[in-house]
Amino acid sequence: MYKELFDLSTKKALVIGGASGIGKATAEALKEFGAYVIVADINPDAVKGLFDEVYYVDIADYDSVVNLFDKIDSLDILVSTPGINIRKRIEDYTIEEFNKVLNVNLVGYFYVAKNAIRVMNEGGSIIFITSIRAFVVEPGQGPYSMTKAGIVQLVKVLASELGKYNIRVNAVAPGVVDTPLTRQIKSSRR
């Protein structure tokens, strides 16, 4: 039933962070519904041969993001999922750790958006995965929560600026999902 409602056979999709977790599940679902699926990830070998195209990208590195989008001539759907978390209280964070979380979780999404615009000539949809932590915080989640809240604001800005080009921009804020990122939480609580 759903395949008839959501036929994506004429759509080209890029899933950044598509080698594991929510990103991989998203890429698999897009493929199941007929989309031509490109996956880009810091670990592309994990999904080599599973999707139509697979590339390396480090979204914290602007040149890496530019290089990825130079390989893509057009795009209908973009889903960006990467995220890292270093669970510590603010006082225990090093500047290097803070910058790493900031660069992957927020700055990288800016890089992705800036470059996606140039290949979404016919309009399309941008979906950024944020987190329930954008809205609900707990000790030891400070920088992660700040960056995920920043994605929500980035999405609002992009939606207001890109609507005139027929590009929809939305955020999805899942709660806890069993992924490699959240498994570290379970193992640290034992």
> Band of the pLDDT at 186, cuts 50, 70, 90?
low
Report the pLDDT averaged over residues 15-30. 97
CA 110 to chain centre: 11
144 is catalytic: yes
Neighbour tally for 84: CB within 10 Å? 17
Confidence at residue 98, expressed as pLDDT on a 0 to 100 scale: 98
* pTM (two decimals): 0.90
Residue among 34, 47, 37 at smallest CA distance from 8 = 34
On the question of pLDDT at 181 being above 80, the answer is no
Domains, the chain: 2-188 (3.40.50.720)
CA distances from 97 to 3, 90, 114, 143, 146 (A): 43, 10, 25, 9, 14
Instruction: Output 132-135 pairs: Cβ under 8 A, ≥24 positions apart.
Output: 132/173, 132/174, 132/175, 132/176, 134/171, 134/173, 135/173
Report the pLDDT averaged over residues 92-104. 98
Query: In the structure encoding, which two tokens stand for residue 59, read together?
Result: 């979204």
Neighbour tally for 66: CB within 10 Å? 14
On the question of pLDDT at 2 being above 90, the answer is no
On the question of pLDDT at 177 being above 90, the answer is no
On the question of pLDDT at 5 being above 90, the answer is no
Spatial strand order of the sheet with 77-80 comes to 53-56, 36-41, 12-16, 77-80, 124-129, 167-172
On the question of pLDDT at 190 being above 60, the answer is no
Q: Which amino acid is at 54?
A: V
Handedness of CA 180, 181, 183, 188 (dihedral sign): positive
Confidence at residue 189, expressed as pLDDT on a 0 to 100 scale: 52
What confidence tens digit (pLDDT) does each residue in 119-163 have?
998 899 999 999 999 899 999 999 999 999 999 999 999 999 999
Q: In whole angstroms, give the CA distance from residue 39 to residue 24.
A: 8
What confidence tens digit (pLDDT) does each residue in 28-77 have?
999 999 999 999 999 999 999 999 999 999 999 999 999 999 999 999 99
Q: Which of 36, 55, 144, 165 is catalytic?
A: 144
